[in-house]
Structure 1
Amino acid sequence: MKRLLMLLVLGLLVACTKPVPTDHRDYIGLWEGPGMRLDIQPDGDSRYEREREGRSTRISGPAHDFTTSGFKIGIGPLSARFKVSRAPAQVEGQWTMTVDGVALVRVRAYAEPGGGVRL
């Protein structure tokens, strides 16, 4: 029974994952900052980890609902909204952005559909 439930949840996650919208492709990559790690894949699959005040938070799922002020990771009531106060931008050759008040640096870029790499 447990195995069936896990397979159903996994199937739901895969079915709900959509590629990151074209106008938000700058968000794709592995981002790191003090106590935070954010990994957004080209296909929308994402992982968030944050350590603060002795507690850790981990969220995995599709990235979606991108707006000028943020995005969500997860499915339905199990999703979390992330506030972007500074959108991804290249500064002196390094990609940076600020999410939930944490300055992040992109440490890894991923190949995009069609074979290009977003540097």
Structure 2
Amino acid sequence: MKIKIYGVILCSSLILFGCTKTDPLLEKNQNYIGEWKSENSTLEIKKNGEVKFAQHLHSEQKNASSDMKSSTISNIKAPLTQLDQQHLHIGEGDLSKDFKINKAPYQQDNEWRLILDGEIYTRH
């Protein structure tokens, strides 16, 4: 009976450690891991390389005859496929997004920040 219990504990531990393995692209870039928020977007980078990106943009156009408002929502959940000093790329093909890294993660005023595509993200 004790052998079965130890076997279950060992298997459970192996599964947990296997699921939390750091993605090779993030091993030397662990400062990118976490949930990042900007004014219009949320970017969540998990240790295993899974990335979720959500963006909500609003725009308004007014002229003499009409007021026009529009809203665009983008959601992507995909693996991290490239991370170097200049680019962070998630997904493949049509379901992908490429970010230009303007400034890698850095600390300012006791907060972690990251600048992608000219937009400032703060880690939460």
User: Is TM-score (shorter-chain normalized) higher than 0.5?
Assistant: yes
Q: Give the one of 86, 90, 93 matched to 1:73.
A: 90
After superposition, residues 1-119 of structure 1 pair within 5 angstroms as 19=23, 20-53=25-58, 54-107=71-124
| TM superposition shift of 1:75 | 2.7
Structure 1 gap segments, 5+ residues each: 1-17, 108-119
Mean Cα deviation higher: 96-105 or 36-45: 96-105
Larger RCO: 1 or 2 (CA < 8 Å, sep 6+)? 1
Q: Helix, strand or coil: the match of 1:26?
A: helix
State the distance in 2 between where 1:76 and 1:23 align. 26
Count of residues paired in the alignment: 90
Q: Which one has a bigger Cα radius of gyration?
A: 2
Q: Deviations over 1:58-114 (max 9, x none)?
A: 11111121011121111344221111101101112210011122111000xxxxxxx
Paired residue for 2:6? none
CA contact (8 A) 2:26 2:47 kept: no
CA contact (8 A) 1:36 1:102 kept: no
Q: Helix, strand or coil: the match of 1:74?
A: strand
TM-score by length of structure 1 reads 0.69
